[in-house]
Amino acid sequence: MDFQAALEKCGSFGRFQYVMLLLYGYTNILGSLHYFSQTLITFTPEHWCYHEQLQQLNATQLRAAYANISHASCTLLERVDNGTGVVATTGQCAHWIFKHESNYTSITSELEWVCGKSHHAAVGQSFFFLGSVVGTILFGYLSDHIGRLPTLLMTTLSGACGDFMTSFVYSLPLFAISRFVSGLSTDTMYYMMYILVFEYLSPKHRTFGLNIILAFFYCFGLVTSPWAAIWIGNWRKYLWIASLPALGVLAYPLFICESAQWLLTKHRYDDAVKSLKWVAKFNGRKLQEAELKQFVQHYFDKHNQEQKSKYHADTFMGMFRTPRLRRFTLTLMLKSVIITLSNDVIHRNMEGLGTSPFKLFSITSLNYLPAGVTILLLQNKIGRKGMACGALLIGGIITTVTGYLIAHLDPKQNALLLAVMIGLGRYGATVSYDAEIQYAAEIIPTTVRGRAVSNVHVVGLASSSLAFYVIYLAKFYKPLPSIFISCLMFLGAGLCLTLPETLNKKLPENLKEAENFAQDEPCLLFPCLKRKTQSLSNST
């Protein structure tokens, strides 16, 4: 009796899985609050160099006073004559007047990190990104050595500590250090919980459980967090709201247990049995002792067979040792770069949408819901390969059309049309990103899933640092970012064809099984087409 058969007897979609999905949803809310905090706390509102004559003027009058002055935000005035500013011949700005968005105070406005200090926020963002790379590698390694559950607690609490520390800083060095600590948990808190849920759900329930929960709860967090920031009105207090709920993860061990599948790969059979008994008890099932002995014997015999064949402990680097698995790993890494970079550029490259960044972020985050529903309706019908390939292909077409419209239409006169197209582009990017997570987790074997998923993701995360340069291509030719990203997405769609289909298949548990997985499968095999062919042959 293998793990999947034992899980079916314990219940693969019962009360235990419902609780796990609710906790997964809570983790997604924490992740969305954490993710948006980096953008929100460093938001730079419209500002002007301070002068006592400007103190009582409203934003419209301030713009009029600086109407004929270039670099108004950093230009010191000598005086204001009849509502028009006169530039001072000497001196520099020491203080500024800020037009706070919805009366919200960010760190850039509170500490006046503008003009000569405008790079301070960017330095903090750089350290946040550096922390995310280090954290993804570190916690991915730990998840395969000390377990999924303790690693989840560690990564979530480290991010919360970083956000909480940030709320007390008043200088750049402390800001950089606290943002590095905060960045350690970026995405890893989500990935750790994702893997834990993934390993306790039956294959037929994974698409619904993982994607709908992600779509609803992550969307809820993203949509509401800007309004929470506006309501509380201060970046320091917002970070308290974003960090303190993370203490809730300390209660997770009261409801869920360590991954039995991971325990089996570590040959901790007694602990794996305890985890399965926990699941069975939660689901109102009971495993017979004979069944448990059969289950343990299966993996004990498997381990002995591996020992006789000079089996080496599975490591992430072992995925590069054999030809097929090496090709799969490199393909997943390249796809991660393509999808992450495309997703980042499409979400940042907001052309023709002149509105409040808070409202814009909230409204555009709604695309997570239709994206999740799309995956739910299609992924189990057209397969993982078809979903991943189709999302990238359609996303590339939408991005190509958007680039064409940008090149030939006046953005001011066609702002709504361009906004709709960019929104559709974000929808396609979200579907591609979410479909990729499940596809990669199913191809990668259990023994190295934590490390490998994290390492594949960190390669993509590193590529997101290039997003600014891709967007900068618009300086040379406005639709160039859209053209570049669409080419990447077409390439990614082609790469998907070289990967095996995982729908309705027993997933590999170790590197040896992964190397032989779907060995004789053709590149153009899609489950939906296969079913049609079989039905036609049966009818004849």
Question: Which residue segments constitute the domains of the chain, with CATH numbers given?
Answer: 1-50+97-290 (1.20.1250.20), 315-527 (1.20.1250.20)
Contacts (Cβ under 8 Å, ≥6 apart) of 324: 515, 516, 519
Sequence letter at residue 398: I
Helices (H) and strands (E) in the chain, counts: 23, 4
The 10s digit of each residue's pLDDT in 2-32 is: 788 888 888 888 899 999 999 999 998 998 8
DSSP H helical ranges for 323-475: 323-348, 357-364, 368-408, 415-443, 449-463, 467-472
pLDDT value, residue 357: 66
Q: Are 513 and 322 in contact, with CB atoms under 8 Å apart?
A: no
The CA-based dihedral angle spanning residues 11, 13, 15, 19, taken in that order and rounded to the nearest 10 degrees? 130
CA 447 – CA 505 distance, rounded (Å): 18
pTM of structure: 0.75
Residue 96: strand pairing partners: 49
The sign of the dihedral angle between the CA atoms of 172, 175, 181, 182 is negative
From the CB of residue 463, how many other CB atoms can be counted at a distance below 10 Å?
20
Cα 309 from chain centre: 40
- Beta-carbon neighbour count of residue 45 at 10 Å? 17
Helix/strand/coil percent split, the chain, to 5: 75, 5, 25
- 82: buried, middle or exposed (CB in 10 Å: 19+, 13-18, 0-12)? exposed
DSSP structure class, residue 49: E
| Residue 223 near residue 369, CB atoms below 8 Å | no
What is the pLDDT, as a whole number, of residue 237? Answer: 92
Which pLDDT score is estimated for 350? Answer: 54
The two tokens of residue 342 are 């495309």
Quote the tokens at residue 268: 């901790």
**pLDDT value, residue 351:** 45
Residue 296, phi-psi category: left (phi > 0), alpha (psi -120 to 50), beta (remainder): alpha
CB contact set of 19 (below 8 Å; sequence gap of 6+): 255, 256, 282
Cα separation, 233 vs 358, whole angstroms: 12
For residue 190, CA distances in Å to 151, 187, 291, 304, 388 come to 11, 5, 34, 35, 20
Inter-CA distances, 106 with 57, 164, 239, 243, 281, Å = 22, 15, 11, 17, 49
Q: How far apart are CA 375 and CA 379, in angstroms?
A: 5
Place of tokens 């390694």: 141
Angle at 335 between CA 435 and CA 506, to 5 degrees: 55
> Which pLDDT belongs to residue 180?
92
Contact predicate 353/422, CB 8 Å: yes
Q: Which residues of the chain have pLDDT under 70?
A: 82-83, 306-313, 347-357, 360, 411-412, 415, 465, 468, 472, 475, 523-540
DSSP state of 86: E
- Nearest-CA neighbor of 489 among 407, 390, 364? 390
**Count of beta carbons in the 10 Å neighbourhood of residue 241:** 16
Q: Among all chains, which residue has been given the structure tokens 């381990």?
A: 303
- Specify whether the CB–CB gap between 238 and 41 falls below 8 A: yes
* Listed residue (290, 266, 202, 203) closest to 1, CA to CA: 290
